[in-house]
Amino acid sequence: MDILCEKKDRIAYITLNRPEALNSFNPDMLYEFSKALIDFRDDDEMLTAIITGAGSKAFCAGADIKTMLPFLKENRGKPWVTSPPTIFRGLDLWKPVVAAVNGACLGGGLEVALACDVRVASENARFGVPEVTLGVIPGWGGTQRLSRLIPRAIAANLLLTGRPINAEEAYRVGLVNQVVPEKELMPAAEEYAKALCKPGPQAVRAAKQAMVRGSEMSLNEGLALEQTLFEFLLGTEDYEEGKNAFVEKRKPVFKGK
């Protein structure tokens, strides 16, 4: 299978599994990725996910030039064929997602990482969007998310030249949260994922929704959204549990209700 899925301790592990092709996406893999993400979204037992790549050479080298790009060209103007719902676009996923970036993270691979909430990179990771060197531009959100995440001048350099940066530079400009030795990558990603499992699940999802949707709104609209979500949470069982646990000086037991 091109996508491997494992569920453990309320964490979903989604592995891009084409190491012989640097985990690049072909059409079948894109559809498998969509199914894995939807399954994670709809599984109430799963609180967060870690996305990584098989092997040590690449997280994901983007779209498979031999298969995916011809597929996209052949089906131009047919988003129902070329764009199944994923974290790129079309899927509202408010559960938090961690990217464990091992090796090359290029093109569509960087777009996967950009659509995650936390990015942990191994020291050998490289980040770039080389699409302009092929005569196209990123098509899975790279032109939009990159300039929203890091300074515009740095995003422009990456997008307009196609040149990659190393993990140290990615950390310096705020593209990744942490850089660790390769052998420590998954433990570091799991540490983030476990931390994301501890707060109230509905509160975490509301915070992500307010942050993501609010970034596309005016300040007043974003504040209104925040207030709506805040007032919704006041009516949940998890709020009562969190409040009572704080008063009683104990750890809360959240149920996501």
Q: Which phi-psi region, left, alpha or beta, contains residue 99 (left: φ > 0; alpha: ψ -120 to 50)?
A: beta
Could you tell me which of 163, 174, 230 has the C-alpha nearest to residue 203? 230
Could you tell me which of 86, 7, 16 has the C-alpha nearest to residue 44? 7
Could you tell me which of 120, 226, 243 has the C-alpha nearest to residue 183? 120
Please list the active-site residues. 111, 131
Q: Which domains does the chain have, with CATH numbers?
A: 3-197 (3.90.226.10), 201-247 (1.10.12.10)
Please give the chain's pLDDT, 257 residues, in tens.
899 999 999 999 999 999 999 999 999 999 999 999 999 999 999 999 999 999 989 999 999 989 988 888 888 888 878 889 999 999 999 999 999 999 999 999 999 999 999 999 999 999 999 999 999 999 999 999 999 999 999 999 999 999 999 999 999 999 999 999 999 999 999 999 999 999 999 999 999 999 999 999 999 999 999 999 999 999 999 999 888 989 998 888 888 88
